[in-house]
Amino acid sequence: MHSKSESRPPLPPFTLDTATQKVRMGEDAWNTRDPKSVSMAYSSDSRWRNRAEFLEGRDAIVAFLTRKWQRELDYRLVKELWGFRDNRIAVRFAYESHDDSGNWFRSYGNEYWEFDEHGLMRVRFASINDAPIKESDRKYCWPLGRRPDDHPTLSELGF
């Protein structure tokens, strides 16, 4: 059973407005690059498939995100709502980062989310493809942290 402090509004069933809000909240959280804080949006028994890696539970999520952001440097992410129904949301996203050798990548993907009644994500499936880019081709150049509200969306960028 979850305590009230573990509730993460907006709660399902989602509307267009609440699904859009949930997606932006997820984007904002991931752009903090704080594994512990990000993990709190997921149920304690959350199940993930991220690329070919399968995870279960918050501890596994924290470990995964810690590894991720140690190798994906200067990470910046944009998410966009693709669809929603009841307690599920489909998202498309793109993020940019570089490795410790200075090689830049733009990673594109889709996520499928399922939430419990408390608004915690209990299932996350992510399919992701990486494309090498030149540093001069970067589109996400805002200061690390939350994407500015006036920054172009994925659709506006043609992604």
CA distance 47 to 114: 10
Q: What is the pTM of this model?
A: 0.95
Task: Return the pLDDT at 35.
Answer: 98
User: Strand, coil or helix: what is 41?
Assistant: coil
Cα of 114 vs its chain's centroid, Å: 13
Two tokens, residue 77 = 């992410």
Residue 119 lies in a domain: yes
Residue 112 lies in a domain: yes
E strand spans, 27-103? 42-50, 53-56, 73-85, 88-98
> Considering its fold, how many domains does the chain have in total?
1
Mean residue pLDDT across the chain: 96
Residue 1 lies in a domain: no
Intervals of the chain under pLDDT 70: 1-5
Residue 2 lies in a domain: no
Task: Return the pLDDT at 4.
Answer: 54
Domain boundaries, position 76: 8-140+147-157
Which domain CATH number covers 54?
3.10.450.50
Residue 88 lies in a domain: yes
Residue 151 lies in a domain: yes
Give per-residue pLDDT as tens, 96-139: 999 999 999 999 999 999 999 999 999 999 999 999 999 999 99
Residue 3 lies in a domain: no
Residue 124 lies in a domain: yes
